[in-house]
Copies of this chain bind each other. A is one copy, B any other.
């Protein structure tokens, strides 16, 4: 039985608490949040203790695995602290909003040698995982192009969130940049990004964009499209399509249910999920479970700390491309940071 501690009891921290509760191989031992009341609520719901500090939780003998669900600026210290305390680390992205610091953290974590997993939960979506496995198995031949569309939910984060987010490319598109590498099994070569503010003025206030188009050229020459929007009037909409020399495969957009009505007013299907938590509900538990069974010795493919860094490198390239209106080579980002072309 793996004993889990969670740092950060906001929405995503609570989602992880549910995943732990459902998982027969682990148990929730402790939680911490600077907002004591929130930590207490979670602790009461799952019958665990409240740690006095993040440090205390990391060093508790009752904790084997630390889930880091705190704000980004605490990540570096907590990733390293938990790893040095000999714990397994399951951390939310990004490693750090500053790419150089993220790189340094990755190098330090490698030296420590602790097991680390990045919370790229979309890799654990049932349909995306089917698609990835079949692409890798060659079902559609050699990959020629990828399309990753994601829009929603029907709300825009607060100005405060937007300002601390690192921008749309780093905050949201990064998920899809990770998926491109995971699905194709290839490294990126160059990136071009264009962004616009079309829907929400508050996004402009944060000097951010609400609509982004990215094209990534992969090492083989395959071309990946990302079509992302901050908000969708109709819920949460995600689809992936991969085209190759032998065919095409699509992880289709998901509806809330599978009911159709036909009346004089028209033909109506069930709505889309409201937000990413509804859309990707099961994937959070599947992600945590993958880490758990890996810690128990199983051979499982998980997003490691280097995957987190590479997704950030791609997001950095996209951010730069959009800012300077040019195609950006991945090598340029790597070189500017003194990172070798391949990690």
Contact = CB atoms under 8 A, between A and B. Distances in A.
Given A151-B243, A237-B262, A247-B264, A198 B211 contact: no
Contacts of A252: 258-260
Interface string A321-336: 0000111000000000
A84 interface: no
A266 interface: yes
Nearest to A209: B221
Contact of A258 (B225, B251, B271): B251
Interface stretch (A102-110, A166-174, A226-234, A298-306): A226-234
Contacts of A246: 233, 263-264
B268 A144 contact: no
A215 B215 contact: yes
A159 to B, nearest CB: 19
A197 B217 CA distance: 12
Nearest to A240: B259
Contact of A326 (B151, B212, B243, B326): B326
B213 A194 contact: no
A223 B196 contact: yes
A235 B145 CA distance: 16
Interface in A192-214: 192, 194, 196-199, 210-213
A14 interface: no
A247 B221 contact: no
A197 B220 CA distance: 9
Given A147-B147, A196-B222, A257-B130, A140 B247 contact: no
A36 to B, nearest CB: 23
A222 B268 CA distance: 24
Given A144-B211, A213-B225, A258-B127, A267 B268 contact: yes
A233 B245 contact: yes
Interface in A255-311: 255, 257-264, 266-272
A223 B233 CA distance: 18
A134 interface: yes
Given A232-B248, A245-B199, A261-B248, A145 B213 contact: yes
Contacts of A232: 243, 247-248
B131 A259 contact: yes
A254 interface: yes
A101 interface: no
A259 B223 contact: no
A3 interface: no
A10 interface: no
11 contacts: A130-B259, A134-B259, A144-B199, A145-B227, A192-B327, A211-B221, A225-B225, A227-B243, A233-B264, A267-B271, A326-B326
Given A232-B247, A248-B262, 12 more contacts: A22-B22, A145-B213, A147-B227, A213-B215, A215-B215, A233-B264, A234-B248, A234-B262, A235-B262, A237-B248, A247-B261, A268-B269
